[in-house]
Copies of this chain bind each other. A is one copy, B any other.
Amino acid sequence: MNAFVTGAAGFIGSHLVDRLLADGCRVIAYDNLSTGRQEFLHAALRHPYFRFERGTILDAERLRSAMRGADTVFHLAANADVRFGIHHPRKDLEQNTIGTYTVLEAMRSCGVRRLVFASTASVYGDARIVPTSEDCPFPIATSLYGASKVAAEAAIEAYCASFDLQSFIFRFVSILGPRYTHGHVFDFYSQLREHPDRLYVLGDVHQRKSYLQVSDCVEGILCALKNGCASVNRLNLGADEWCEVNQSVRWITEYLRANPTITYAGGDRGWIGDSRFVFLDCTRLRSYGWRPRRTIREAVVDTLEYLSQNSWAVAAAAQRNDCA
């Protein structure tokens, strides 16, 4: 495979790159390094089959010229800042929706016929049926992030019908693991490192979410690529379990040997557009033989271990969050 990976220096992107190289693929990594880190590509950069191209997906000309020779595009670049969408609605539109059109046009221009797209469980909004399957009732969008990914999915599907492409659209739950410096694990870790005696939690104790370890995520993508033969392949990608936020709090405080006083912000969700219960029906992907190897608890601990051992990444992420 000649892979072209957008967002290649990001959390999931860099794990995917490592795995593709290990499998013997040639990889062109494309990233503007706005949130991605070149450090994540440390090993890849020494590999003879690897090439890094710095650029934004909104630069159509640069994207097209970098993509030449690829046969499969993994489009992972996105604004993944779900929580702060209401502060800059245009960011999701530009980076997720318009960015995906730019990628699709570059593929058309370069004759690349296969696309893997990182979508999200957020497309289901407040799902009425849980566990939620790919064919659940036509959802109502509840976040600007979710809406921008719904738009990108629909654009991809229309391109498949119009221009004979094949697509694999993965609706991820929250992905955890090494190199992950976002989300609640990072937030709780950072809080407790600063003051181990107190912890502030958004929402209430009973929000339920499913998570997945990043290596299971990458494995799921590659498994689907081997087995899916439809023009449009839509696949949920998540664990077969979920946890309440207070379970996750317990795992994290145990790992850090902290005993904080916990304050819950209250309300039935973490922020506007947040979902109270995320749990995906992954029967379709499991029918291809894939199954997660790490539990949610293990995925949380893997993330904590990485953070403990990589204070540079914690500091860099903290600085980025301050600037956002």
Contact = CB atoms under 8 A, between A and B. Distances in A.
Interface residues of A, number: 40
A135 interface: yes
Given A137-B136, A138-B135, A155-B151, A161 B105 contact: no
Nearest to A124: B138
A237 to B, nearest CB: 16
- Copies, count: 2
A138 B140 contact: no
Q: Is the interface of A mostly helix, strand, loop or mixed?
A: helix
Contacts of A155: 93, 141, 144, 147-148, 151
A157 B86 CA distance: 13
Nearest to A85: B162
A229 interface: no
Contact of A146 (B146, B158, B234): B158
B138 A134 contact: yes
A97 interface: yes
A207 interface: no
Contact of A101 (B93, B134, B146, B272): B93
A154 interface: yes
Contacts of A234: 140
Interface centre among A101, A104, A144, A158 (most CB of B within 10 A): A158
A206 interface: no
